[in-house]
Amino acid sequence: MMIDHSVFLLAPADWTLLAKGLSMTLWLTLVGSVFTMLIGVLLAMVRFLMPPPFNWFGTFYVDSIRSMPLVLYLVLIFVLLPVPPFERAVFAMATFNGAFVAEIIRAAVESLDETQFNAALVLGLNPVQVFLRVAMPQAMARMVPALINQFNTLLKDTSLVSMGMLELAKASNILIERSWDEAFKVILIVSAMYFVLCLLLSLFGQVVEHHLKPWTRQPA
């Protein structure tokens, strides 16, 4: 008895291919987000804590990356960096999005009351401790929406790093190349997948923002 795959929109083998692409997209997003955050924090620390000319490097790096198209940056990394595709993709996404995260952190920290930083220094904390233990917890609550937006961007950027990897966009391209008759259904399904992933990430950000609200209270 023949099974009508149209009921399920796609054949089981096609769903399997999309599932493999989805898993790679999620893994790229997770690993890329972790390293993006680490690079963003390190760049912010360089800009805030290092004396000239070292902090100038942080500012130059952030401004240079923010002025460069992502596709051009990806081409440079993929041509110049002789490492496996996954590591190359993570490096490219983390170093690119890390510059934007550093700017988000800078804006959030500079919005805080500076008197508490001076008080922390008087109490014996060094500048690194002040940044990590006083500034960052409060700044984190303020920059959650911007960070979630940046991580949403990173999630969608994984569709541009499919050289040598089977991520969600690459899997959809393979299915479309196999049968143009299925193109509309494939695009619709993959678009829905990206929408759900971004929606879940946004909901997660709202939960985190709610729990961090007490940190937004400024001292009297």
- Mean pLDDT in order along the chain per 10 residues (220 residues): 50 88 93 94 89 85 90 88 88 93 90 82 84 84 89 91 81 86 86 94 88 61
Q: Which residues contact 143 (CB under 8 A, 6 or more apart)?
A: 104, 105, 107, 108
For residue 121, the one-letter residue type is L
- Both tokens assigned to 55: 């902090």
pLDDT given at position 216:
57
Superfamily classification of domain 5-216? MetI-like (1.10.3720.10)
- Both tokens assigned to 61: 């790096």
DSSP 96-128: HHHHHHHHHHHHHHHTS-THHHHHHHHTT--HH
pLDDT given at position 56:
87
Q: Which residues contact 46 (CB under 8 A, 6 or more apart)?
A: 54, 55, 57, 58
How far is 57 from 83, CA to CA, in rounded Å?
26
For 115-167, where are the alpha helices, taking DSSP H only?
A: 115-122, 127-129, 136-157
For residue 119, the one-letter residue type is A
How far is 69 from 75, CA to CA, in rounded Å?
10
pLDDT given at position 193:
94
Cα angle vertex 144, ends 120, 115, to 5°? 20
Burial of 128 (0-12, 13-18, 19+ CB in 10 A): exposed
